[in-house]
Amino acid sequence: VLSTKSNKQTILNSLKQVVLAGSANDKQREIIVREIESSEARHFVLLFRDHRLQLRA
């Protein structure tokens, strides 16, 4: 059972500060952040390609 508290801000912070940090990821980060912010969903999951924490979706 998921709690009613959203994890949206935690996911956005992770994307901005860790997963897609840096100027090389600006374009991809902006697209993903825009999509998350416009979504009405309350819970998000980050999927990684492998143990090196490369973002998959």
Q: Which domains does the chain have, with CATH numbers?
A: 1-57 (3.10.20.360)
pTM: 0.78
Residue 56 pLDDT: 63
At residue 55, the pLDDT reads 66
Structure tokens at 7: 């994890």
- pLDDT, tens digit (0-9, with 9 covering 90-100), for 5-54: 999 999 999 999 988 999 999 999 999 999 999 999 999 998 877 777 66
- Residue 46's pLDDT is what? 87
d(CA 47, CA 54): 9
Residue for token pair 């600006």: 26
Q: Which long-range contacts (CB under 8 A, 24 or more apart) does 19-25 make?
A: 19/46, 19/53, 19/55, 20/55
